[in-house]
Amino acid sequence: MSNGGREAAGGPAGGPLEAFLADELDLAFRRRLIWLFGALDLAPGLRLLDVGCGPGVHLRALAAAAPGVAAVGLDLGAERLAAARAAGTSSPVIRGDAALLPFPDASFDRVLMSEVLEHLPDDRAALAEVRRVLAPGGVAAFSVPHEDYPFLWDPVNRLVTGLGGRPIRSGPLVGIWTGHQRLYRPDALAAVVRAAGFEVEAVVEATHACIPFAHLLLYGVGRGLVEKGLLPEGLRRRIGRGAAPATPRASRSRFDPVAPLKALLEAVDRRNERASGRRPRTFVNVLLKARRPA
């Protein structure tokens, strides 16, 4: 098992998944999705459950990168499920509670749970349910926000909590604590997953380098503009991760208003690939691969 690794590319390099993520502006999301898909060892015929599927981004990525996988999405939010259907998600999506999954025992070969555990009042109950619906020998992949996140990712919450205040979970200054019950360190996530009866096979800390106020800009300002319809359709799709047919780069407009921002984000993100003598101490995400014992 790898514990607290610096970075791991994980997942398939290039190909349909990279094409799906070509316009992605949250490069921490891009990193973790590639790692998670790699950890799941996807193959045609596997049954996969996406717990907390939201508007269906992971399911659409699966349809592009692993079309032979029989995926099902589950979310408690009716509006998020409606958004998934409206975006053209081809997999079935079901309303349900992560702590009381509406599926028989051993229904799935793979379970994906990305940025979900931190929202739940009882993460242990949800993990017990994931183990129950996972077939023996099946694999689950998790991602959660890191408790030791970079100062630049969310300076406001870092300052507030550093001074002894409560984290900001909502409002115009919300950051990494958006609607979260808790954040995780690698050892804490591994412990709660093991306590649910899993074998932990890999734990990775991902994304250290980022631009200032990255979370606020992408999810506070950017998402707010998308939801209010204040951006052009093409730009709204890119920031909001709406489904759209891939447009060949040669046929795109010469003027891309997002291109300078994307170039900046990619330049900063490349620092996450560089080896250095001193390992970073802060990260955006903890990623974990676990297996139900056979």
Rounded CA-CA distance 153/163 in Å is 17
CA dihedral 48, 66, 32, 166 (to 10 degrees): -40
pLDDT for position 2:
47
Q: How many CA atoms does the CB half-sphere of 129 hold within 13 Å?
A: 20
pLDDT for position 219:
72
Rounded CA-CA distance 228/207 in Å is 30
Residue 147 · residue 184 · CB < 8 Å: yes
pLDDT for position 10:
39
The string of pLDDT tens digits covering residues 199-218 is 999 999 999 999 888 877 77
pLDDT for position 189:
98
Of the candidates 266, 242, 246, 260, which has an alpha carbon nearest to the alpha carbon of residue 30?
266
Question: Residue 54: what residue type?
Answer: G
Rounded CA-CA distance 242/246 in Å is 11
pLDDT for position 114:
97
Say how many C-beta atoms besides its own lie within 10 A of residue 20's C-beta: 21
Topology of domain 2-291 in CATH is Rossmann fold (3.40.50)
Burial of 229 (0-12, 13-18, 19+ CB in 10 A): exposed
Evaluate the CA torsion angle 68, 206, 88, 135 in order and state its sign.
Answer: positive
pLDDT for position 206:
96
pTM: 0.88
- Give the three-class secondary structure for 189: helix
Using alpha carbons only, give the angle 282, 189, 117 rounded to the nearest 5 degrees: 100
Backbone dihedral angles phi then psi of residue 118, each to the nearest 5 degrees = -70, -20
- Token pair 């808790």: residue: 182
What averages of pLDDT result for each successive group of 10 residues across the chain (294 residues)? 46 73 89 97 97 96 95 97 93 97 98 97 97 98 97 93 92 86 97 98 96 79 61 59 47 65 89 76 97 96
Q: List residues bridging with 206 in a β-sheet.
A: 285
Domain ranges of the chain: 2-291
